[in-house]
A and B are shown apart, each in its own frame.
Chain A
Amino acid sequence: MFDMKWFHEASSVDDAIEWLKKDEDAEIISGGTDVLIWMREGKYAGKALVSIHNIPELKGISLEQNGDIVIRPATNFYNITHNDIIQKYMKSLGEAVDMVGGPQTRWAGTIGGNICNGATSAESASTMSAFDANIELKGPNGIRVVPISNWYLGPGKTVKDRCEVVTKFIIPKSNYENFYGYYIKYGKRKAMEITTLGCSCLVKLDDKKTKIEDIKLAYGVANPIPKRVVEGENFAKGKMLKDIDEQFLKEYSEAALSGTNPRDSWRASKDFRIQLIKELAIRTLKESISRAGGKING
């Protein structure tokens, strides 16, 4: 038995909000792969749970009329990786969430939970930051939309109020169209591991595939919160592919590093993280360019 005060299976988002308002101890549960473990460990012991597990309107991925991609929060990681829209337009996100925990976790855990737990190590967080996803929330005071760049307040903290429910992740067409990306999760083991450092890059080349027209670079665990590093992006923006050499890549990785603030933790030292930040910036850039159909040095 889990140590919970009470449990309610919500039938709709509005129903969930009503029940969240009833009790200060009430929290949302979706896939349960974080919340039930916290309950077991004691961090969430005695909390009341409002389940959004079976609300159909919170599941699925769709391509809207205006070209925006909408990912609904209670979609599990497996269904994101294996979704046609994601594979076609947001491949790096599908690959990133395919590195969460183990296969069992990916069949239960959801992207909404991954973003709402506020962890800088969350696999989807850096890639969703690179795509500049907008997060739609519904709460007692109505609906609001928050860009992911304003979402995180600190480790484990987000702007989401306890009584608010995330209803959509919206990725505008201009943020994914013609962008090709790559995500690297560095961890000591290949599975069942929490990210030591995550790096997500998105590259858009010009029509002739000779120049980096636009670039997005985002990290997880390089800062207290997952976020884009504009210092690195600005350094590479507009660069001709033929001019990309060892010297440029070195300077690019230094520029990326200048926008981060890594820390010592029991998982890795600050020095090691600095090395990872630089190395992963180079590797993700090279692979992203290659996926976009470009060739470095010619």
Chain B
Amino acid sequence: MDLSKNFFQLFALPISFDIDMSNLMDAYRSLQKVVHPDHFASGTDKEKRLSIEMAAHLNEGVDTLKKPVKRAIYLLKLQGIDVDFEKNTAMSPMFLMDQMELREQLEVVGKQADPFAAIDALYERIASMQNARIDDFKAAYNKITNNIDSVGNNSNAEDIVAEMQFIEKLRIDIERLEETLD
């Protein structure tokens, strides 16, 4: 297995944001069937080490391609664009306002009559926000790959991904809050 191939090549998929999930999972499963440590419980130490390394690589690959935010970041990386979410401050005021409002809601969730229902509502809201970003990203990414937008002028796709990461961070914070309620 060539660990230097990119994840799309690894699973024999075209490089694109839209991927056929069942093709991805079929390729992943048939590769895991071969390299997984389950097959090397009685193998030599070298085989075991190699097997863990490859199985971990496959897991990393499928995790990257399966999740929209990670996939978007990875696609930009393949275009030579490293997204640095911490340094990206050029978010639209509208977006930041939304985020602030959501964060405020999150802070008072614990005091609601039914905090679990309030959390579910928050999850739904950010899921739809994220879906809107995904559509935007696809359009921006197509521009890059069709050379309408050159690599040097890619700020749009980058900004969208930064927002996606922002929303993902919020989702993790909701998850964390949920843990504390139980």
A binds B: no
